[in-house]
Amino acid sequence: MVACKDKNDLDPGVRWRRVVEYTGGEWLSMPDGTYAQDVFSYYISVSCNHCSEPICVEVCPTTAMNRDEHGIVSIDPAKCMGCRYCEWACPYSAPQYQAGSGRMSKCDFCRDELKAGKAPACVAACPTRALIFGEFDELQQDSVGQMTFAPLPDPELTAPSAFFKPHKMSKPLNSSAGYIANPEETKDAKSLEPGYVYTDGSVCGGKCVVCAGCPFWNSGLADLLHLKFQILVALCLVLAGLAAAMSHLGNPGDSLHAAKNLKSSWLSREIFSVNIFAGFLAVMVALAQIRPGALNVWVLLVGSLAGGAVLSAMTRVYRLRTVPAWNHAGTSLTFLGSALLLGGLVCTLVLKILTLLTEVGHDVMGQNEFRNVALIAVLAGFILKMLAAGLKPSGANAAGPFKALQPVMQGAGVALWLVNILAGVNPVFQSLLLFLAAGCLVSGEIIHRIQFYSSYQRVGL
């Protein structure tokens, strides 16, 4: 550890190599009145395992993370924008954020030492020769050991290029018999920082709104002014989402590289689709002013498909195979439900606000038809979110005092919306109920986003 930190001049708290202490057991009362114990403890020195199927390379949107012809996984600092997505995904906590540079960093197997014919710094410094290195095939033939014991993750996730000789007291893979006794020393980054919960949550919420808003443009129930404002609101939400996303990058200037890994990174695909969607919305805003007649059903259909592409890519970003709490069908249903719920809500609010501020939209029959279509979307979204809750794997539900508050808030919002529909023609009462329903639905969505991010638990170290 010390040799690695010294050689690479790492920031405080950044540890490319860590020693994990795994321990457990207890004292047991025996029938004869004596006591016995099954206490165990063993240590594992871990770093980047330069996997054959590195998930960090797969998810990196800028191609900053790469694997060379020798199998060494490293980072190109000139491309890294500091999004920290590789940190979310890697089950060994190998990529680590350096606040000073705003970029990710990781073990590069001391490539400079290898070129000089020397051993990596950690291997050279180990006094007991507990660490060795060599060609993967040779190590495999020598049967140095397997990576199938706790607390290591399942090697099938990333196919690591490393072997461990198990301790005589080692526990089976996925065993819950013990725990990591020194998480503060091993940089246990398996939970998200609070800033990510709120920043990414707001971005997701904004994108869900615009994705679901698109289909309503094709409903034929909105007049031209309403349509213009729907498009404008959608564009503003997308731009706000992009600005919020940029705010948590370590190096926003390097985000120009973000669409370079369309081949394998869903984050790269999401960024690309969001920018295409934003550009399309900007064109539609211009058309609404210059040539309103050009906003025909085909143009609006393309907008709907573009919004759907954003929603699909965004959902896949979170379905990481190393995060079981997110990698299930319930996550996809949750995002779709949020899109329908928030999209129907925002489109209705735009119509209501225009009605209150202008003389346009006083066709009560037309408003009721539009509001009814929006209600169907909101109800469908609420039902999908309830179904999604039942698809979560055991142990994936977020704990905390607000666990039951989200369905209660959104259920109350749907109930208020129904009362609003049945409230008659009193515009003041209808408006009050609608805005109360909106407050409940949005509050429930915020609570749900916090719970979703709080449920993040990556497998491994």
61: left (phi over 0), alpha (psi -120 to 50) or beta: alpha
pLDDT in tens, 421-436: 776 657 777 788 888 9
- Higher-pLDDT residue of 195 and 28 is 28
CA trace torsion 90, 93, 99, 102 (10° rounding): -20
Q: Which DSSP category does 19 fall into?
A: E
Which structure tokens are listed for 327? 């990698």
- Higher-pLDDT residue of 56 and 287 is 56
Q: Which uninterrupted H or E stretch holds 103?
A: strand 103-105
Model pTM?
Answer: 0.87
Average the pLDDT over 214-220 and give the result.
50
Distance from C-alpha of 55 to C-alpha of 90, rounded to nearest angstrom = 6
The pLDDT-based confidence of 206 (bands split at 50, 70, 90) is low
Distance from C-alpha of 36 to C-alpha of 215, rounded to nearest angstrom = 67
- The strand pairing partners of 104, in sequence order, are 97
| Domains of the chain and CATH, by start | 2-54+105-186 (no CATH), 194-454 (1.20.1630)
Distance from C-alpha of 239 to C-alpha of 220, rounded to nearest angstrom = 26
Average the pLDDT over 36-58 and give the result.
93
Q: Where are the alpha helices (H) located in 20-120, listed in sequence order?
A: 55-59, 85-89, 111-115
Residue 139 scores a pLDDT above 80: no
- Higher-pLDDT residue of 355 and 251 is 251
Nearest to 369 by CA among 219, 254, 225: 219
Question: Do 61 and 235 meet the contact criterion of CB atoms below 8 Å apart?
Answer: no
Question: Do 64 and 104 meet the contact criterion of CB atoms below 8 Å apart?
Answer: yes
